[in-house]
Structures are given as structure tokens and as C-alpha cells.
Amino acid sequence: MPTMASPKVLNYASHVDDNALRQAAETARLPFVHPHIALMPDAHAGKGSAVGTVIPTTDAVIPAAVGVDIGCGMIAVETRLGAADIDGMDLAALRRAIEAAIPLSPGNYNRGLDRFVFTRARIDSLAGQASDTGVDLSHSPKWREQLGSLGGGNHFIELCLDERDIVWLFLHSGSRGVGNKIAQKHIKIAQKLCRQWSIQLPNADLAYLAQGTPELAAYLRELKWAQRFAFENRAEMMDRFVEVFADWYASDAGDVDAVPLEVDRINCHHNYTVKETHGGKDVWLTRKGAIDAHKGVRGVIPGSMGTRSYVVRGKGNESGLCSAPHGAGRRFSRTEARKRFTADDLAARMAGIEYRHGEEWVDEIPDAYKDIDQVMADAVDLVDIEHTLRQILNVKGT
């Protein structure tokens, strides 16, 4: 059951650090927050405001609360295949094929735009939206090459099996470098304006853009584009994953007619702002590390590498601002995780899962994250679980 952690802060997390609670209390004191802030079960301290915070605002938007990875989220595809269909097949070969089709790690982009037939239409559509709405992309001349690239950190690609042993394709990424540039530009504008207006803030990363100003209008235009880019970036990578997976399966199975067909697809943001109605008012709802959980809305909540993930359906809980957690949430910083754990520790935790071994991924060890099962237990009032996924293959950038 949620508790009131401080005035206007409703906390769904049974385990949350003091810094996250302090950040939530600071954010809730802003005069335009309505009706309250909801701390999700995976909440932990972040930059300016806690990750796992849902922030409804009436007359302003806080760019740093949306964050620098605008539109980051998950996409999952259910296939017609079962575990028996791929039993004994070479998962290492599939991992290498994925790594060849999707650029990994920060700064790695596509070398060309014509390898896949579906890429060009996405690029043209995004370019048209930017032109039609006045979105300035001069800061990111390589944005086209970024489409269909994964990034690093906690972004990943996975092959999973659900509780029925059905095969799922699964990945996590956002708006890449172009979204970061858009975010950083508007965070700086918000901070400059708040200084000009002599507005006292608990910290500079709560600087906001006010309703009715050209600065907010410009941010919302570019935010909408970046959210669309993130959505299409995931769709682009998933289309590549589906194609690579189908080729791998057909080649190994020796039966082209048996190429798996996509049954279902879920693509959802967990770092974004959207107009919604809460507490009887129209608000800008910022989900910083949270997914849409309106009644009946399907979403995806990942664990960490080596732990379970979940396909869920929202319950429309108004107290929780129709939101749900976006993952396990970190227990330890990346620096602390590297002090505590080794590559051997990670290998032990990843037993039975195909992945690239090495020191590069130690800070992503499951032990650096909260217990995803506890997170989901805390989210019982927010979502229903439809499927539980366990990964058999994991791909990460560095």
C-alpha cells in the first residue's frame, strides 16, 4: 500500500533511499505541482528529481525532470515460436548477427541508410515532421545515422521465453544523441530563465519553462519530435531484430516456410511528458522512469540483465497517476557496483544466458539493481501481470 512520504508525495516503493525521498519532497513543493507526486516502486535518486517519479504540473514543464534520454522506453514482440522450436540452436551466432545489424554503444551509428528496406521511410517521416513543426536539428547532423542504434548503459536487446515458453524479442533504448542534445539545450534555457526571473529553486535541475512562453512552446515541439524519434528508433531496431532472428531461425532449422511470424508488439515510453487530466485539472504529466498504466493500457517493465521482466496491463489507478514502474531501479551507482562486483560475479549471475563476457558490463550486474519481484509486488495496485519473461540471450553496448 502506498504511503504519504511527505506533503504531496505518495510513495509506492517499499525500499527507497533517503536522497530519492528528499528529491521528491523538493519537487512536490513547486507551486504548480497538482495534485501530488507519485513515487514508483523502483524509485531511486536521480539528477534533479528522483528516477521513478511521476510529476503532474499545471502551468510549467521541468525539462531536466523529463531527462536527457527523451522518450527512452521498451519494445517487446511476441512470436509464434516456442522454446522447443529453438532448442539446441546456436544462440551465440544469433547474438553476433544482432550485433552486426544494430550499432551498439554510445557514439556508434549506422554507416549507411540503405541496408534495410524499412529504414528510409522512417527517416523521411521524421525529417518531414521536423521541417513542418520548426524543429531545429542543426546540433545533430548525424541524427539519421543514429536511428536504429542502441546506445550503452542499461540499454539492451534480449531474446526471452515467457511462462508458456513462448519466444519474445525485447529491447530497451531511447532518443540517442539527438534527444540528448535537444534536452540539454532546453535545460539550459530553463535554468537561464529562472535565474533571470530570480526564482529560488532547491536545485538548478528543477528549473522550469512556464506556460504561455515561447520557450515552453519551442520545447514542447522539440520534445514531441524526440519522443517520436525514440519510438521509431525502437521500432527500427526491433524490425532489424525480427529480420535477423527470422534469418537465423530459417537457416538453422532448414525450413524457410517456418520463419516465425510476429504475433504482437508493445512499444512504450518511460521518460516523457504528455497532456493528461488528473485531480480534476489538465496537467503536463512527466513520467521520469515510469510507464503509462491507464486502465487496459499494455506496457513492459524490464528487470536487469539476468532477472525477469514483465508484460503488464494498467489498472488505471488515479492515486498512482495512472502510472507504473519502468524497471528494477538501481541500488548501487555504477561506480559503487564496480567496487563491489567482478566479471566473475557477473558470469555466475548470467549462468545459462548467452551474453558477451567482460569487465565492461559489471556495473549492470543484477545485484546493482533492486529486486524486480519486490518492485512488482509493490506495483500490485498499479498493473496486472500478463506475462513473465526470462532471457536466454542478452546484448548490451558499453
Place 398 in a pLDDT band, splitting at 50, 70 and 90: confident
- Helix locations, the chain, DSSP H: 18-28, 63-66, 83-86, 91-101, 119-133, 143-146, 176-196, 214-253, 334-340, 343-349, 372-378
> Residue 306 has what pLDDT?
87
What integer best gives the mean pLDDT of the chain? 95
Whose cell is 505518495? That residue is 10
Q: In what order do the strands lie in the sheet with 37-44?
A: 3-6, 9-11, 37-44, 51-57, 281-288, 271-278
Instruction: Report, as an integer, the average pLDDT of 21-43.
Output: 97
User: Is the pLDDT score of 330 beyond 60?
Assistant: yes
> Residue 189 has what pLDDT?
98
Give pLDDT tens digits for 283-325: 999 999 999 999 999 999 999 898 999 999 999 999 999 999 9
269 in catalytic set: no
Whose cell is 498504466? That residue is 293
Q: Distance from CA of residue 128 to its chain's centroid?
A: 25
Please, are residues 288 and 52 in contact by the beta-carbon 8 Å criterion? Answer: yes
> Residue 215 has what pLDDT?
98
CA distance 248 to 242: 10
* pLDDT: which is higher, 330 or 71: 71
Binding site residues, as ranges?
A: 69, 154-158, 172, 270-271, 302-305, 309, 326-329, 396
Q: Give percent above pLDDT 90 in the chain.
A: 93
> Residue 255 has what pLDDT?
59
Instruction: Report, as an integer, the average pLDDT of 117-124.
Output: 97
Half-sphere exposure of residue 136, counting CA atoms within 13 Å on the CB side? 9
> Residue 259 has what pLDDT?
58
**Which residue out of 36, 326, 357, 387 is catalytically annotated?**
326
Please, are residues 241 and 157 in contact by the beta-carbon 8 Å criterion? Answer: yes
> Residue 256 has what pLDDT?
52
Please, are residues 47 and 75 in contact by the beta-carbon 8 Å criterion? Answer: no
Please, are residues 229 and 252 in contact by the beta-carbon 8 Å criterion? Answer: no
User: Is the pLDDT score of 202 beyond 70?
Assistant: yes
> Residue 253 has what pLDDT?
60
> Residue 254 has what pLDDT?
60
Place 98 in a pLDDT band, splitting at 50, 70 and 90: very high
> Residue 258 has what pLDDT?
54
Give pLDDT tens digits for 247-290: 999 876 665 555 557 999 999 999 999 999 999 999 999 999 99
Instruction: Report, as an integer, the average pLDDT of 53-74.
Output: 97
Q: Give percent above pLDDT 70 in the chain.
A: 98
Instruction: Report, as an integer, the average pLDDT of 48-75.
Output: 96
Please, are residues 54 and 66 in contact by the beta-carbon 8 Å criterion? Answer: no
CA distance 181 to 115: 27
Q: Which residues pair with 159 in a beta bridge?
A: 169, 393
Instruction: List the domain boundaries for the chain.
Output: 3-331+369-396
User: Is the pLDDT score of 183 beyond 90?
Assistant: yes
CA distance 272 to 291: 9
Name residue 230's amino acid: A
> Residue 252 has what pLDDT?
67
CA distance 153 to 119: 25
Instruction: Report, as an integer, the average pLDDT of 67-84.
Output: 97
Binding site residues for Mn(2+), as ranges?
A: 69, 155, 172, 270
Give pLDDT tens digits for 187-197: 999 999 999 99
Best CATH choice for the domain 3-331+369-396 from the list 3.90.1860.10, 3.40.50.720, 3.40.50.620, 3.20.20.60: 3.90.1860.10
Residues 229-238 as b or e (16 or more Cβ within 10 Å = b): bbbbbbbbbb
Binding site residues for GMP, as ranges?
A: 154-158, 270-271, 302-305, 309, 326-329, 396
> Residue 301 has what pLDDT?
98
Residues of the chain by 3-state class (helix, strand, coil), percent to 5: 35, 25, 35
